[in-house]
Amino acid sequence: MSDHPREFCGLFAAVGVAAAAEKTYFGLYALQHRGQESAGIAIPREGDIIAHRGMGLVGDVFSQADLARLASNVAVGHVRYSTTGSSNVANAQPLVAKTGKGPLALAHNGNLVNSSSLRAEYEAHGSIFQTSTDSEVILHLLAHRPQDRFEDALVATMREIRGAFSLLLLTPDEVIAIRDSQGFRPLVIGSLGDGFVVASETCAFDLVGAKYLREVEPGEMVFLAPGRPLRSTRFVAPAETKRAHCIFEHVYFSRPDSRVFGDSVHAVRRRCGEILAEEHPAPADIVMPIPDSGTSAALGYARASGLTFEMGFIRNHYVGRTFIQPTQGTRAADVGMKLNLVVDVVRGKRVVIVDDSIIRGTTSRAHVRRLRAAGAREVHMRIACPPVRNPCHYGIDFPTKTELIAAQHDIPDIAKILEVDSLGYLSLDGLLRATSFGAESYCTACYSGKYPVPIEAGLDKFVLERR
Ligand code: SF4
């Protein structure tokens, strides 16, 4: 794994399920890779909503006593990495608010692209914001909708916000799972006993013993309440939805043991590796991944090329806390700590290393230097996605264009900078062929520069704090 962008958030809800907060705790545990800065769980209690939130990993935020205090058969949880707003507990989710439409808790995965202008508009009318996140804008919009019926206000709100949003909304009576009309971020529903669970990824179902039912469809709102059948409605008609699933979920963000956008993440990555081997063969002795996210693609590369698969880099799984603070200094510090090299595997060998992506390139070059120092004869780098040339505005913490190595240099220059004997990236066509939905169903903006939803000028991570 190299200097990757960070996933923004993970969502989990349990409805009509015994010990729902405990189930949510385990669901969030399985989704920890989607956000390590803060975690929270909210439950309904006697017509109100209470929550426990804190900074840090799920295992640190909740004690047994905290979970006991959250006794309920309904719970909504969230893990967060700050893609908008800074890293502090006020921005931890679920956000809880008392509104004219009753108490609400909101868990949001994604980024709104019109949050800045909406917030300015509401502040001009006297709204006071408690956080610097775009998620709070949704609560204000909902609270101030003139419609009397909650569901009508919800539809109006969802039609007003733009960008990426998978949402879990908790009222004293039910949980509402909502997905933007492009379906940028994954959101899936499962069954557990007589109740339901909702999660960002299916890997969270496995840990609590839930059964996958289906995705929340783009533009859909699913109402879930204990003892009631699932009820679905839409805030946009199917004809108005234009799928733009984030292809980077398959490349890096999602866990390989999840199904995302209808495909097994591991199978897509392995297929990427196979196509990569066809597009960019290498004169080498062994293929080895940058673990963990390059592993599936390296398996595919080895399978298609006939080269021997080796684990030359071994990941230290106990350094995750270095990710808590998303600062440049911390990112640099984790380079040497995360992967160790098995010198005997690479000494005297021509090595293909397969990584899922290159963002800044700093850690990639560090890996290459270590391979050379260990006696590798040649180092051929293969990347299981196209060059990342554009930032993401839909909730992924990409660096700016000036920090993206592929935005500043062509591929021969990158090969020189990384000090490799050869460098090959998977083509965009190859990446899309590895998935089953079809090219028109994915957002590929970080590669292609074609943003499926227009971006407000000046939008970046801290735009709401500077205003
Ligand atoms: S720009 Fe890239 S990371 Fe962002 S949503 Fe699109 S594909 Fe995903």
Query: CB–CB of 31/12 below 8 Å?
Result: yes
CB-facing half-sphere around the CA of 414: CA atoms within 13 A? 26
CA of 307 to the centre of ligand 1 (A): 32
Residue 249 CA: which ligand 1 atom is closest? 8
Does ligand 1 come within 6 angstroms of the Cβ of 444? yes
Best residue for ligand 1 mutational test, from 113, 394, 400, 442 (most atoms within 8 Å of Cβ):
394
DSSP three-state, residue 90: helix
Rounded to 5 degrees, φ, ψ at 295 are -65, -50
Count of domains in the chain? 2
Same domain, residue pair 186 and 282:
no
Domain boundary among 180, 213, 244: 244
* C-alpha 260 chain-centroid distance: 11
CA of 247 to the centre of ligand 1 (A): 6
CA of 443 to the centre of ligand 1 (A): 6
Range of the domain at 24: 9-244
Does ligand 1 come within 6 angstroms of the Cβ of 184? yes
Tell me if 250 is assigned to some domain.
Answer: no
- Predicted local confidence at residue 449, as pLDDT: 95
Tell me if 309 is assigned to some domain.
Answer: yes
Torsion on CA atoms 124, 125, 129, 135, rounded to nearest 10: -90
CA of 446 to the centre of ligand 1 (A): 5
Residue 391 CA: which ligand 1 atom is closest? 1
Same domain, residue pair 231 and 301:
no
Tell me if 346 is assigned to some domain.
Answer: yes
Residue 444 CA: which ligand 1 atom is closest? 7
Same domain, residue pair 268 and 205:
no
Same domain, residue pair 177 and 51:
yes
Tell me if 98 is assigned to some domain.
Answer: yes
Tell me if 30 is assigned to some domain.
Answer: yes
Same domain, residue pair 226 and 270:
no
Task: Indicate which CATH number applies to the domain containing 227.
Answer: 3.60.20.10
Best residue for ligand 1 mutational test, from 180, 200, 442, 446 (most atoms within 8 Å of Cβ):
446
Tell me if 1 is assigned to some domain.
Answer: no
Query: How far are the Cα atoms of 124, 344, 448 from residue 198, in angstroms, in the given order?
Result: 36, 45, 32
Taking the CA atoms of the chain, what radius of gyration do you get in angstroms?
Answer: 22
Tell me if 433 is assigned to some domain.
Answer: yes
Same domain, residue pair 196 and 278:
no
Query: Beta partners for 264?
Result: 259
Alpha-carbon distance of 183 to 440, in angstroms, equals: 13
Query: CB–CB of 107/76 below 8 Å?
Result: yes
CA of 126 to the centre of ligand 1 (A): 34
Secondary structure letter of residue 112 according to DSSP: B
Query: CB–CB of 431/54 below 8 Å?
Result: no
Q: How many helices (H) and strands (E) does the chain have?
A: 19, 24
CA of 115 to the centre of ligand 1 (A): 18
Same domain, residue pair 225 and 337:
no
Does ligand 1 come within 6 angstroms of the Cβ of 446? yes
Query: Beta partners for 133?
Result: none
Size of the chain, expressed as the number of residues it contains: 467
Same domain, residue pair 214 and 129:
yes
- Tell me how crowded residue 293 is: count the other CB atoms within 10 A of its CB: 24
Residue 393 CA: which ligand 1 atom is closest? 4
Same domain, residue pair 58 and 194:
yes
Task: Indicate which CATH number applies to the domain containing 319.
Answer: 3.40.50.2020
Residue 246 CA: which ligand 1 atom is closest? 8
Spatial CA neighbour of 267 closest among 229, 219, 306, 303: 303
9 is annotated as an active-site residue: yes
Amino acid type, 369: R
Domain boundary among 192, 216, 244: 244
Secondary structure letter of residue 132 according to DSSP: S
Determine if the pTM surpasses 0.85: yes
Tell me if 467 is assigned to some domain.
Answer: no
Same domain, residue pair 229 and 284:
no
**378-383 vs 422-425, strand pairing mode:** parallel
Query: CB–CB of 54/38 below 8 Å?
Result: yes
* C-alpha 192 chain-centroid distance: 24
End-to-end CA distance of the chain: 35
CB-facing half-sphere around the CA of 17: CA atoms within 13 A? 27
Same domain, residue pair 322 and 416:
yes
Catalytic residue selected from 9, 203, 246, 272: 9
Best residue for ligand 1 mutational test, from 245, 247, 404, 455 (most atoms within 8 Å of Cβ):
247
Q: Would you write out the chain's pLDDT as a tens digit for each of its 467 residues?
A: 346 766 579 999 999 999 999 999 999 999 999 999 999 999 999 999 999 999 999 999 999 999 999 999 999 999 998 655 566 787 889 999 998 889 999 999 999 998 888 888 877 777 777 777 888 889 988 988 888 799 999 999 999 999 999 999 999 999 999 999 999 999 999 999 999 999 999 999 999 999 999 999 999 999 999 999 999 999 999 888 999 999 999 999 999 999 999 999 999 999 999 999 999 999 999 999 999 889 999 999 999 999 999 999 998 876 654 443 445 555 445 556 788 999 999 999 999 999 999 999 988 999 999 999 999 999 999 999 999 999 999 988 877 889 999 999 999 999 999 999 999 999 999 999 999 888 899 999 999 999 999 887 665 544 444 44
Same domain, residue pair 221 and 74:
yes
Indicate which residue's Cα is closest to atom 4 of ligand 1.
392
Alpha-carbon distance of 24 to 20, in angstroms, equals: 6
CA of 132 to the centre of ligand 1 (A): 22
Does ligand 1 come within 6 angstroms of the Cβ of 246? yes
